[in-house]
Amino acid sequence: MTDVKTQINETVKANDVVLYMKGTKEMPQCGFSSRVAGVLNYMGVEYTDVNVLADENIRQGIKDYSDWPTVPQLYVKGEFVGGCDIITEMTLSGELDTLFDDNGVGYNKDAADKIREANA
């Protein structure tokens, strides 16, 4: 498990935004992963996707790493942000914009506003 933890740690530290998910950003394999990837894709965020279905050690390892029981899991600048419900709430409240702004992560502000308008 130490090797998996090291691998996960290196991935989240080496990339500004990482999404551990079921499937890939082009082809999510569950609704929750699809929702978070859809938000990031729509907002034009550049991120690294890690398909937990491709490696059982990573699938369990990411849950142990974050002490969070579910996937997807979003990391920004090496810090765990949350899963689907948290990312959805943060998107609708504007907190995700603030997080990206504070960490120098590029995204399309107009797209973020459109998500909020569509869900108002």
84 is in an annotated binding site: no
Give Cβ neighbours of residue 120 (< 8 Å, ≥ 6 apart).
none
Main-chain dihedrals φ then ψ at residue 22, nearest 5 degrees: -90, 115
Distances (CA, A) of 80 to 86, 111, 116: 11, 23, 23
* Binding-site annotation: residue ranges for [2Fe-2S] cluster: 30
* Binding-site annotation: residue ranges: 30
